[in-house]
């Protein structure tokens, strides 16, 4: 029922939503059975779904396995594929809008009535699920729903939102400048290809997203959901949970709770204890504390039969690439880039990720990479500190 205090202003919109929803008959859409008024109070009658909302399920289950999340989100996309074909956008997709039945079957509820060329959604969506065009009031279309589904899928796999900030301005800036958080770092079980698919769905520019729900669906169906990284010769195969817990505990003494994210992110792409600890050590600014962490890490390595080495610039490996200038250069591996990003972020914040990615395309050496990135630090003292910390953390001659 529509609350009495809203009935005067929203009565016609409420009825329009009901009429639109009544046209949608699909196994993954909650059926609208009737609507009308009772003593001047508008009401709608919907199919009764015997199951909790996805929001409640996630509260009790925590992150879902990528395969399970994709199976459920594919049904949401099937529902949108059908509704969009009938000229109806949802514009209110969130975890509480998805109802979960037995065997992970889902139904999408709360359909809006905006036509495909609508400008504003009828109902207010929680900020975390809004596409950039909904913040700015520009035209919305099928790609607006695609964005919301991308947020939902990211949340299902990680139990965090892809964008965060203290205010709306900061959230929009992250959408435009940095993009979503690293899916694989937050859930190493997820494949890198799945991460790229979600990044496409969450593109700031609608023109870079999947054009339709069906295109998003096809991409998910053609990509492996679970990480399956072939180990290099001599690498560890998988990580013992106890090893990662001990390393995380040692790191948390110096950088706090963020250690959990740092360890998961590094462990998702590194298979060697020595390399893992070197990358994580870059997050510790104080030289003495950094050495203290590495000493603890050595003890973990001995206990697991691994030999740990002191961090040096020579440890970083690189592959030959053609730079944007057309010359042959050397590209640092992901572990090296993680270490550089961790150092730079202390001085410029989250944009460090974007800067490192840009500068790595013209990579010639770690020394040159640090020097180029230092130019983005406006304060002379902080710039010097960045270069000094790079020397101390990498053992490199800069």
12 pLDDT band, cuts 50/70/90, is low
Structure confidence at residue 217 (pLDDT): 93
Residue 46 makes CB contacts below 8 A (sequence gap 6+) with 30, 31, 32, 33, 109
For residue range 23-40, list pLDDT tens digits in order: 788 899 998 888 788 877
**Residue 375 resides in a domain:** yes
Structure confidence at residue 200 (pLDDT): 92
| Backbone conformation region of residue 128, classed left if phi is above 0, alpha if psi is from -120 to 50, else beta | alpha
**217 and 70 co-located in one domain:** yes
For residue range 257-302, list pLDDT tens digits in order: 777 777 877 776 666 777 778 778 888 878 888 888 888 876 765 5
303 pLDDT band, cuts 50/70/90, is low
As a whole number, the mean pLDDT across the chain is 76
Among 168, 187, 221, residue at a domain's last position:
221
**166 and 96 co-located in one domain:** yes
> What is the rounded CA–CA span in Å between residue 150 and residue 152?
5
Beta bridge partners of 37: 42
**Residue 195 resides in a domain:** yes
Q: Pairing state of beta strands 328-332 and 318-322? A: antiparallel
Residue 362 makes CB contacts below 8 A (sequence gap 6+) with 323, 324, 325, 329, 372
Q: Where are the alpha helices (DSSP H) in the chain?
A: 4-21, 54-61, 66-85, 132-136, 142-158, 168-173, 183-186, 192-201, 213-221, 241-255, 259-267, 273-281, 287-303, 334-348, 352-360, 366-374, 380-394
130 pLDDT band, cuts 50/70/90, is confident
> What is the rounded CA–CA span in Å between residue 272 and residue 39?
70
Highest mean pLDDT among 109-118, 231-240, 346-355: 346-355
Residue 363's SS3 state is: coil
pLDDT, greater one: 137 or 6: 137
Among 303, 337, 355, residue at a domain's last position:
303
Among 153, 188, 221, residue at a domain's last position:
221
Residue 226's SS3 state is: strand
Marked catalytic residue, from 34, 40, 92, 103: 92
**88 and 134 co-located in one domain:** yes
Contact present, 54 and 28 (Cβ < 8 Å): no
**271 and 328 co-located in one domain:** no
Structure confidence at residue 108 (pLDDT): 94
**287 and 354 co-located in one domain:** no
For residue range 196-229, list pLDDT tens digits in order: 899 999 998 999 899 999 999 999 988 777 765 4
**Residue 372 resides in a domain:** yes
**148 and 37 co-located in one domain:** no
**156 and 59 co-located in one domain:** yes
What is the domain range of residue 249?
241-303
Average pLDDT for 106-127: 57
Structure confidence at residue 215 (pLDDT): 93
pLDDT of 118 higher than 60: no
> What is the rounded CA–CA span in Å between residue 102 and residue 51?
7
72 pLDDT band, cuts 50/70/90, is very high
**Residue 230 resides in a domain:** no
Residue in this structure with the two tokens 């909302």, named with its chain if needed? 53
Structure confidence at residue 347 (pLDDT): 77
**361 and 297 co-located in one domain:** no
pLDDT of 71 higher than 90: yes
Q: Give me the percent of the chain exceeding a pLDDT of 90.
A: 22
The contacts found for 159-162 with CB under 8 angstroms, 24 or more apart, are 159/58, 159/62, 159/63, 160/186, 161/128, 162/198, 162/202
Structure confidence at residue 36 (pLDDT): 80
Structure confidence at residue 314 (pLDDT): 33
Residue 41's SS3 state is: strand
pLDDT, greater one: 81 or 121: 81
> What is the rounded CA–CA span in Å between residue 312 and residue 275?
11
**Residue 132 resides in a domain:** yes
236 pLDDT band, cuts 50/70/90, is very low
pTM of the predicted protein model:
0.56
Residue in this structure with the two tokens 């101390």, named with its chain if needed? 392
> Can you give the CATH number for the domain in which 212 is found?
1.10.510.10
- How many angstroms separate the Cα of 50 from the Cα of each of 30, 47, 107, 151? 11, 10, 11, 25
Structure confidence at residue 9 (pLDDT): 55
Residue 393 makes CB contacts below 8 A (sequence gap 6+) with 281, 282, 290, 311, 339, 343
- Closest residue by Cα to residue 159 from 91, 236, 238, 260: 260
pLDDT, greater one: 322 or 376: 376
**122 and 245 co-located in one domain:** no
**120 and 10 co-located in one domain:** no
Is residue 92 part of the annotated active site? The answer reads: yes
Structure confidence at residue 211 (pLDDT): 92
**27 and 116 co-located in one domain:** no
The percent helix, strand, coil of the chain (3-state, each to 5) is 55, 10, 35
- How many angstroms separate the Cα of 331 from the Cα of each of 228, 363, 366? 23, 5, 9
Structure confidence at residue 316 (pLDDT): 37
How many structural domains compose the chain? 4
Average pLDDT for 365-374: 80
**Residue 235 resides in a domain:** no
Highest mean pLDDT among 2-16, 60-74, 101-115, 175-189: 60-74
**112 and 216 co-located in one domain:** yes
> What is the rounded CA–CA span in Å between residue 300 and residue 249?
11
Which two tokens mark 222? 């053609």
């Amino acid at each position: 029922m529509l609350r009495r205090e809203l009935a005067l202003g929203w009565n016609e919109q409420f009825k329009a939503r009901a009429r639109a929803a009544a046209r949608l008959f699909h196994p993954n859409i909650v059926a609208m059975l009737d609507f009308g008024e009772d003593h001047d109070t508008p009401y709608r009658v919907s199919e009764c779904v015997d199951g909790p909302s996805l929001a409640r399920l996630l509260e009790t289950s925590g992150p879902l396995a990528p395969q399970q999340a994709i199976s459920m989100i594919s049904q949401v996309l099937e529902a949108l594929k059908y509704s969009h074909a009938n000229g109806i956008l949802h514009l209110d997709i969130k975890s509480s809008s998805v109802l979960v039945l037995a065997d992970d079957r889902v139904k999408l509820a709360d359909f809006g009535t905006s036509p495909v060329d609508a400008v504003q959604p009828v109902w207010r969506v929680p900020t975390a699920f809004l596409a950039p065009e909904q913040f700015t009031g520009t035209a919305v279309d099928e790609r607006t729903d695609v964005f919301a589904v991308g947020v939902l899928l990211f949340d299902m796999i990680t139990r965090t939102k892809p964008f965060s900030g203290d205010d709306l301005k900061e959230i929009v800036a992250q959408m435009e400048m940095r993009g979503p958080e690293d899916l694989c770092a937050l859930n190493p079980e997820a494949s890198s290809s799945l991460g790229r698919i979600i990044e496409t769905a969450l593109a700031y520019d609608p023109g870079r997203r999947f054009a339709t729900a069906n295109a998003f669906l096809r991409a998910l169906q053609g990509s492996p959901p679970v990480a399956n990284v072939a180990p290099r010769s001599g690498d560890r195969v998988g990580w013992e949970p106890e090893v990662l817990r001990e390393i995380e505990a040692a790191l948390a003494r110096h950088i706090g709770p963020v250690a959990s994210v740092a360890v998961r992110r590094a462990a998702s792409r590194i298979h060697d204890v020595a390399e893992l600890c070197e990358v994580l050590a870059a997050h510790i600014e104080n030289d003495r504390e950094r050495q203290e962490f590495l000493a603890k890490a050595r003890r973990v390595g001995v206990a697991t039969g691994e030999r740990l080495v002191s961090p040096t610039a020579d440890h970083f490996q690189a592959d030959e690439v053609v730079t944007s200038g057309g010359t042959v250069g050397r590209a640092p591996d992901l572990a090296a880039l993680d270490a550089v990003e961790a150092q730079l972020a202390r001085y410029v914040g989250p944009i460090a990720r974007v800067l490192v990615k840009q500068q790595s395309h013209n990579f010639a050496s770690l020394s040159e990479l640090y020097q180029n990135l230092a130019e983005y630090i406006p304060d002379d003292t902080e710039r010097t500190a960045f270069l000094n910390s790079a020397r101390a953390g990498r053992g490199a001659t800069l």
